[in-house]
Amino acid sequence: MNLAKKIVSYVLIALVLVFTIVSILGIWDIIQNLENVVLNIIYSLIVIFAASAVILFIFNVFMKDPDHKP
């Protein structure tokens, strides 16, 4: 589980860096039509969030170890 937390942390850091770079490029007018880029990023994150929620549900409901006590 510790490895999964590290991987998720690195993915979140990468997403923050991508958002920051896109925002800075949009501020300096290097990227034209920033609205389309930001909307596509937001839609992609919504899809990833929904998929993650479904996977989390599957793990918690179907793959729970009945012998494991917290």
The pTM for the full model equals: 0.53
* 53, pLDDT greater than 80: yes
67 located within any domain: no
Cα end-to-end distance, the chain, whole Å: 14
For residue 9, is it within any domain? yes
Q: What does the pLDDT average to over 23-37?
A: 74
Closest-CA residue to 9 (of 65, 22, 34, 17) = 17
Q: Closest by alpha carbon to 19, among 46, 5, 37? A: 37
Nearest to 22 by CA among 13, 31, 14, 33: 31
69 in any annotated domain: no
Across 33-61, average pLDDT: 79
42 domain residue, yes or no: yes
CA distance 37 to 53: 24
Answer with the residue of higher pLDDT: 64 or 59. 59
Q: How many domains does the structure of the chain reveal? A: 1
Residue 6 lies in a domain: yes
Find the domain containing 36 and state its range. Answer: 2-62
